[in-house]
Amino acid sequence: MMATFVGAVGLFSRLGWGEQWRTLFADAYPGFEADDGGTLVGMAWGAIDGFLAGLATAWLYNVARRE
């Protein structure tokens, strides 16, 4: 889901929309730019980020349920 959102920001920023979001993601994800290659790099970072966030959330949920 995060990768999709980052990809959409990359595509929309080419049209002049969401430039502040693109700048934010470019600060967080090295290599993310508004071109084709940069959007794919950003989507890969977004997939990794989303996976790790989901993993951490599931782990915390399971820890809380045990107690």
* pLDDT tens string 19-32: 899 999 999 999 99
Tens-place pLDDT, residues 6-61 = 999 999 998 889 889 999 999 999 999 888 899 999 999 999 999 999 999 999 99
Q: Cα dist. 25→6, 55, 58, 61 in Å?
A: 8, 21, 24, 27
